[in-house]
Amino acid sequence: MDKMTEIAFQIILHAGNGKSSAMEAIQEAKTGDFAEADRLIEEAGTELGEAHGHQTKLLQEEASGEGQGVNVILVHSQDHLMTSMTVRDLAIEIIEIYRNK
C-alpha cells in the first residue's frame, strides 16, 4: 500500500471515530447526561484533530511538490472528514438545545 493510501485510511479511521463520538454525545444529551455528552464532544474533537493532522501532512507534501496524485480512497477520506466535522458541529448545537430545554 502506498503512503498516500495509508494516510487516507488514517483520515477515514479518525474521522469515523469522531463522527461516532459526536453521535453518541447527542444520545447522552437526550438522556440528560451532559457531562458525558461534553466528554464525547471533546473526544470527537480530538479524533477529528488527528484526521486533520494527517490531511495537513498531505497538503504540505502537495505544496512542496511531493504530491502523489489523487485516488478514490483519498477523495473518500476527504469527504468522510468534512462530513464528520459537520456532524460534530451540529451535535454541539443539538446538545445545547437539549441543555437549555
In 3-state terms, the chain is what percent helix, strand and coil (to 5)? Answer: 85, 0, 15
Residue 79 annotated as lining a ligand binding site? yes
Q: Calculate the dihedral angle through the C-alpha atoms of 27, 29, 32, 37, rounding to the nearest 10 degrees.
A: 100
Catalytic-role residue among 52, 54, 76, 80: 76
27-30: Cβ within 8 A, 24+ apart: 29/94, 29/95, 29/98, 29/99, 30/98
Q: Quote the cell numbers at residue 20.
A: 461516532
Q: Is 76 a residue of the active site?
A: yes
Residue ranges of the annotated binding site for Mg(2+) are: 79
Catalytic residues: 76
Residue ranges of the annotated binding site are: 79
